[in-house]
Amino acid sequence: MSVNSNNKNNLKITKMKTLKLFLAAIIAVSMSATVSAQTKDHSTMAMTKTETIKVSGKCESCKARIEKTAKVDGVTKAVWSDKTKMLTIAYNPSNVKIDDIQKRLAAVGHDTPKYKATDKAYNALPGCCKYR
């Protein structure tokens, strides 16, 4: 009888110990995840470059197209103004080249300082977007 209840108590203690270890492991893992996320954010911030380039366009749908086209992986912000025709891009220079973004924009019909849209790409734009 007493041996039996001792065994039960031991089992209970072992279970609690396992649970405590388990919880400690979860806490340790989530803490290290938070730390690495912060480190990552910090390095991303340090690596972010902002540049403004002129992109020809006209209206709100140009704005949507230009911003969507510029927002490739590594671009954290792309904002185009239909008043100034300027596109502001915040990006990580280690995986984004402004040159490539200009190429992409020209391919969907918008002239950039370095690449002009082909007539074919330009003609494919909707009427409201014809800026030339």
CB nearer to Cu ion: pick between 57 and 98: 57
Q: Are 14 and 20 in contact (CB under 8 A)?
A: no
Q: How far is the CB of 128 from Cu ion (least distance, A)?
A: 5
Cβ distance 50 to 56 under 8 Å? Answer: no
Least CB distance from residue 122 to Cu ion, whole Å?
12
Binding site for Cu ion (CB under 5 A): 58-59, 61-62, 129
* Smallest gap from residue 129 Cβ to Cu ion (A): 3
Q: Which residue, 96 or 129, has its beta carbon nearer to Cu ion?
A: 129
Q: What is the 3-state secondary structure (H, E, C) of 70-120?
A: HCCCCEEEEEECCCCCEEEEEECCCCCCHHHHHHHHHHCCCCCCCCCCCHH
CB 126 within 8 A of CB 61: yes
Greatest Cα pair distance, the chain, in angstroms, is 96
Nearer Cβ to Cu ion, position 58 or 71?
A: 58
Please, what is the minimum distance in Å from the beta carbon of residue 32 to Cu ion? 48
